Amino acid sequence: MYGALLTTHSFLRYLVLLLLIAVIIKSFAGFAGKKSFDKADNILGLTLFSVTHTQFLIGFILYFVSPLIKFSGAGMKDPTTRYWTAEHFVIMIAAVVLITVARLTSKRMTVDNARHKRMLIFNSIALVLIVGAITMSKRGLL
């Protein structure tokens, strides 16, 4: 079970990254071009939201079954154990919160340019956090 979850979690990170980049590019184009927030924007944002939450759920399960997670003082002294036990988890929760807030608050907004701006800013920050966390793992993006 652990191996299948880890493989799925590792694969989904690429999908999350691709969707984030797509949402950011589309939001930037919509914001800069003062375009309407259309059905494609909504579907892309919803897809990012759904895939991100699926990724979070799998990661949450992995957090409690992973042999890399150690809740001890000694674990916090080891950089690798500390990363997987605390840093990765907190950074990724922050990224998921940003993606969620972007989606939910932009849905309620009525000004299209403001919707694009909200999606652009919050998802860009989430992308920086995710790439930073992946880089901190010393496993690389690939």
Element (H, E) at 106: helix 88-108
For residues 124 and 21, give the distance between their C-alpha atoms in angstroms, rounded to a whole number.
8
- 6-10, 80-84, 90-94, range with the lowest pLDDT: 80-84
Query: Which class would CATH give 2-136?
Result: mainly alpha
Q: Would you give the end-to-end CA distance of the chain in angstroms?
A: 23
pLDDT above 90: residue 8:
yes
For residues 98 and 53, give the distance between their C-alpha atoms in angstroms, rounded to a whole number.
12
pLDDT (tens digit per residue) in 9-39: 999 999 999 999 999 999 999 999 999 999 9
**Structure confidence at residue 142 (pLDDT):** 57
Three-class DSSP category at 95 = helix
The pTM for the full model equals: 0.91
